[in-house]
Amino acid sequence: MFAASFPKFGYPAFAWIALAPAIVAIATSAGSVSLRRSASLGFVTGLVYFAGTLYWVVEVMHRYGDLAWPLAAPIGLLLVSYLAIYTAVWAVLLRLAVRKMGVSGVWLAPAFWVAMEWVRGSIGGGFPWALLGSSQASVVPIVQLASVTGVFGLSALVALVGTAAAVFSLTHRRAHRLAVAAVAVLLIVVATAGTVRASHARLTMSGDPIRVGLVQGAVEQDQKYDPRFQNLILDRYIALSREAIANGANVVIWPEASTTFYFDAQAARALPIRRLAAETRTPFILGTDDYQAPIAGRTEQFFNAAVLVGPDGRSTQKYRKIHLVPFGEYVPLKSVLFFVGPLIQAVSDFSPGHEAVVFDDRGRRISVAICYEAIYPALATAFVQNGSQLLATITNDAWFGWSSAAYQHFEQAGLRAVEQGRYVVRAANTGISGAIDPYGRTVARTTLFEPIAITVDVRLLTDRTIYSRTGDVVAWISLLTTAGFALTTLPIRRRSRHRGNANPGA
């Protein structure tokens, strides 16, 4: 049910009860089953969860990482197994809570779950893909909660409903039944308030309007750096850009790595783009690789970057991607993963950027998240705190083919719109390109692998949501609750074992 909660094959309703079977399985065996058994239950749950949502990783490594299937499949399993560790820890914590508090301990399940999601999205750069709350990105009444609590608040609500369902099946005690009823009331209140907020749609009538041109070149990944296609690719992007400008675009956005050369370092190849910007007096935002020569004893560095080209055709600002894709833009733990040599050779060895730069086009302030940076709530918050009025995302999802990844990616980017109270515009090489309004509603979207230029009318907004001001309060409460439980529970278990050894007959 976890895996079935996400696109393109799933449906958000499954997420609301996905946690219940796992909770019941752990709670009903808490008195007789070892911690290792509970961990196994959680681990298997995680394996199915992440295998069902990240199955496409294996195809990416095989096709573009030059790994044979017998090697790509175990590497994919390694990633899924790593992520499943977090559900295993959640299961162990839940089992300890039930042992200590009985059925009442089950109510800690949402806090444990959110804490594990936050840790998963933070350790070693994090991998917050397919968070439980992101399954509700397309459910407009519910997703409005993200403007107050962020995605972790959505995860907490969904997990709380699943927990209530589990408690309802575990006990008939009046206090717990009342708590279940309170959860039902909370869900109704959230859905009603969300419906009212989205229907008023105040933000869609605020701010200055701007028409954005989104260019989707639909370039196959194996053609991208083939010299035979270089001129064809550039000509296609130029032609599509002219269409967007003819339709009134105030700014044109190209996808991640849309130039097949170093835009600021190879002047002759960049000239047609600069001429078009100057000729039409239209600014461009381009995805390109960026190069920094060795300086002050440091080796040369390569970056995945976005460049703002002003209406005079000159580069004015640059943003370098901060959150790099593991096994896509760098290989973590190279010395340990020595056996994936072909993958290491195939992966670009990028360096991360360090500053959440917001582009300023004559007072219009636009931020750019590159590729899967769109799934990081904290980065979007940093952009808005730095003055972003419009959240742009550029990506190259050609790696994903026709799999679920492109659909999951689009929906997760849309969550940032609700969290920050901003429009999100998205230019993707092979799709899905489009725009999402500040209430999570899709304004426009393209189909996959279609060369197309679209223009979308959005607004530059300056109002701040509660979430953009307070951040991940729900996640921090969950972390503190989890840490407090662990600190008060584990010492008790050690003391109990000590007393038991001293008095075996006790």
Do 312 and 399 reside in the same domain of the chain?
yes
Q: With respect to residue 77, please indicate whether it lies within any of the assigned structural domains.
A: yes
Q: What is the Cα–Cα distance from 273 to 142, expressed in whole angstroms?
A: 43
Beta bridge partners of 315: 309
Do 355 and 326 reside in the same domain of the chain?
yes
Classify residue 307 as exposed, middle or buried by CB count within 10 Å of its CB (0-12, 13-18, 19+). Answer: buried
Q: Does the predicted TM-score (pTM) go above 0.95?
A: no
Do 44 and 78 reside in the same domain of the chain?
yes
pLDDT attached to residue 326 = 74
| Paired tokens of 449 | 């692998």
Our measurement of the distance from residue 160's CA atom to the centroid of its chain's CA atoms, rounded to an integer in Å, reads 22
Domain span including residue 24: 3-200+472-502
Helix (H, G, I), strand (E, B) or coil at 83: helix
Do 341 and 430 reside in the same domain of the chain?
yes
Task: Name the domain count of the chain.
Answer: 2
pLDDT attached to residue 334 = 60
Do 319 and 456 reside in the same domain of the chain?
yes
Do 106 and 232 reside in the same domain of the chain?
no
Q: What is the Cα–Cα distance from 134 to 417, expressed in whole angstroms?
A: 12
Do 458 and 476 reside in the same domain of the chain?
no
Do 174 and 247 reside in the same domain of the chain?
no
Rg from Cα positions in the chain:
24
The pairing of strands 442-445 and 301-309 is unpaired
Our measurement of the distance from residue 362's CA atom to the centroid of its chain's CA atoms, rounded to an integer in Å, reads 30
Q: Is 355 a catalytic residue?
A: no
Q: With respect to residue 64, please indicate whether it lies within any of the assigned structural domains.
A: yes
Do 139 and 173 reside in the same domain of the chain?
yes
pLDDT attached to residue 72 = 81
Q: With respect to residue 363, please indicate whether it lies within any of the assigned structural domains.
A: yes
Q: With respect to residue 122, please indicate whether it lies within any of the assigned structural domains.
A: yes
Q: With respect to residue 225, please indicate whether it lies within any of the assigned structural domains.
A: yes
For 289, half-sphere exposure in the C-beta direction (CA atoms, 13 angstrom radius) is 14
pLDDT attached to residue 75 = 82
Residue tagged active-site, from 117, 318, 321, 411: 321
Do 263 and 329 reside in the same domain of the chain?
yes
Q: With respect to residue 329, please indicate whether it lies within any of the assigned structural domains.
A: yes
User: Helix 146-170 and helix 109-120: axis angle, to 10°?
Assistant: 130
Do 283 and 307 reside in the same domain of the chain?
yes
Each residue's pLDDT expressed in tens, for the chain with a length of 506 residues: 999 999 999 999 999 999 999 999 999 876 666 788 899 999 999 999 999 999 998 888 777 766 778 878 888 899 999 999 999 999 999 999 999 999 999 999 999 999 999 999 998 788 999 999 999 999 999 999 999 999 999 999 999 999 999 999 999 999 999 999 999 999 999 999 999 999 999 999 999 999 999 999 999 888 887 888 889 999 999 999 999 999 999 999 999 999 988 999 888 999 999 999 999 999 999 999 998 888 776 788 899 999 999 999 999 999 999 998 876 676 666 656 555 545 545 556 788 999 999 999 999 999 999 998 999 999 999 999 999 999 999 999 988 889 999 999 999 999 999 999 999 999 999 999 999 999 999 999 999 999 999 999 999 999 999 999 999 999 999 999 999 999 998 655 444 444 444 333 33
Q: Is 256 a catalytic residue?
A: yes
Q: With respect to residue 467, please indicate whether it lies within any of the assigned structural domains.
A: no
Furthest-apart CA atoms within the chain: distance in Å: 91
What is the 3 state secondary structure string of 87-122? HHHHHHHHHHHHHHHHHHHHHHHHHHHHHHHHHHCC
| Paired tokens of 275 | 């001429």
Do 195 and 261 reside in the same domain of the chain?
no
pLDDT attached to residue 34 = 77
Q: Is 371 a catalytic residue?
A: yes
Residue tagged active-site, from 371, 373, 411, 419: 371
Q: What is the Cα–Cα distance from 447 to 435, expressed in whole angstroms?
A: 13
Q: With respect to residue 206, please indicate whether it lies within any of the assigned structural domains.
A: no
pLDDT attached to residue 493 = 47
CATH of the domain at 284: 3.60.110.10
Query: Do the beta carbons of residue 455 and residue 244 sit within 8 Å?
Result: yes
